[in-house]
């Protein structure tokens, strides 16, 4: 049930036919895990908290540095040197006291991924490296949890939603992350953010869209991004969407699957 303050706080949601009181109640009951409290994770955390998601978990083992403040908008100058998960907790509590925040000061790896992900209803991955993205997507497949995942480059970004443990109405399997990206790029071919740079507002755009996709998944309206990759080009301000399908040769859910657990290298 929503109390009087919550009814007023979420009034602009409740008047939406696609959300309404039942949709807002779904948001309040939901448990969402956000991977990373950085450039993508920061706006995800803020907008999920503002939307009234009942429980938000955040995992990050990093501390705030001065160079983060150009894009990681939940932190301020006074947070430099402090734990990002602590800053996220403070920001969420300041924005919406009705939200329960669960912090995990740790690095996600094969030993803790499944145990953590199974505690939540949906995962939003804002990690900044390929190894973690593959780990998260594999873990969500085994845990049967929907995953909203995004990535950003210097002036570009992409976003998709994964439900590879489900089949479509016609019986076709939903694709995995490995259907979209069979292998990570060779080491050294994609420069890190510190080396290549990044336009500060770009993660804000993609992170906000991640939050929107999570909200749509929870409430259940519109056409989601399962089997579709949304691509953003900030140089030309162009948005494009391409479709991708299940690959029978993918090693996770393919006909000759070789990945049976999270014991592989990530």
Q: What is the mean pLDDT of residues 59-78?
A: 96
pLDDT digits (tens, 9 = 90+) for 28-45: 999 999 999 999 999 999
- Count the Cβ atoms, other than its own, within 10 Å of residue 145: 21
Asked whether 227 and 221 are in contact (CB, 8 A), the reply is: no
**Superfamily for 4-243?**
NAD(P)-binding Rossmann-like Domain (3.40.50.720)
Report DSSP state, residue 170: T
Query: Residue ranges of the domains in the chain?
Result: 4-243
Mean pLDDT of the chain: 95
pLDDT value at residue 188: 66
Q: Residues 256, 135: contact at Cβ < 8 Å? A: no
Residue 57 has pLDDT above 80, yes or no: yes
What pLDDT does 186 receive?
75
For residue 245, give the nearest of 261, 229, 221, 223 by alpha carbon.
229
Q: Is the pLDDT score of 189 beyond 70?
A: no
| Res 194 pLDDT > 70 | no
Confidence class for position 170, pLDDT limits 50, 70, 90: confident
How many CB atoms sit inside 10 A of residue 75's CB? Answer: 21
d(CA 186, CA 261) in angstroms, rounded, equals 23
103 dihedral zone (left: phi>0; alpha: psi -120 to 50; beta):
beta
| pLDDT tops 80 at residue 213 | yes
Mean of pLDDT values over 125-134: 94
Active-site residue numbers?
A: 193
**How many CB atoms within 10 Å of residue 239?**
11
pLDDT band of 184, cuts 50, 70, 90: confident
State the pLDDT confidence band at 26, using cuts at 50, 70 and 90: very high
User: What's the rounded mean pLDDT across residues 172-188?
Assistant: 88
Q: Of 53 and 170, which is predicted with more confidence?
A: 53
């Amino acid at each position: 049930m929503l109390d009087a303050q919550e009814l007023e706080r979420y009034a602009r949601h409740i008047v939406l036919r696609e959300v309404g009181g039942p949709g807002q109640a779904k948001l309040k009951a939901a448990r969402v895990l956000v991977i990373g409290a950085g450039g993508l994770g920061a706006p995800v955390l803020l907008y999920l908290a503002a939307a009234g998601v009942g429980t938000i978990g955040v995992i990050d083992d990093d501390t705030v540095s001065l160079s983060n403040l150009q894009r990681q908008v939940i932190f301020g100058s006074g947070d430099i040197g402090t734990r990002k998960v602590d800053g996220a907790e403070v920001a969420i509590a300041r924005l919406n006291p009705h939200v329960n925040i669960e912090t995990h000061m740790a690095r996600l790896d094969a030993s803790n991924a499944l145990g953590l992900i199974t505690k939540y209803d949906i995962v939003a991955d804002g990690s900044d490296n390929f190894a973690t993205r593959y780990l998260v997507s594999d873990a969500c497949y085994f845990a049967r949890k929907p995953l909203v995942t995004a990535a950003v480059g210097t002036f570009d970004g992409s976003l998709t939603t994964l439900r590879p443990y489900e089949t479509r109405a016609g019986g076709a399997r939903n694709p995995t992350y490995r259907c979209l990206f069979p292998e990570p790029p060779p080491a050294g071919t994609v420069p890190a953010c510190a080396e290549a740079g990044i336009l500060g507002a770009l993660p804000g755009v993609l992170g906000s869209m991640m939050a929107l996709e999570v909200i749509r998944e929870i409430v259940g309206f519109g056409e989601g991004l399962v089997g579709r990759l949304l691509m953003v080009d900030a140089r030309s301000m162009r948005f494009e969407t391409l479709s991708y399908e299940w690959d029978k040769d993918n090693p996770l859910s393919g006909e000759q699957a070789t990945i049976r657990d999270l014991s592989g290298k990530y």
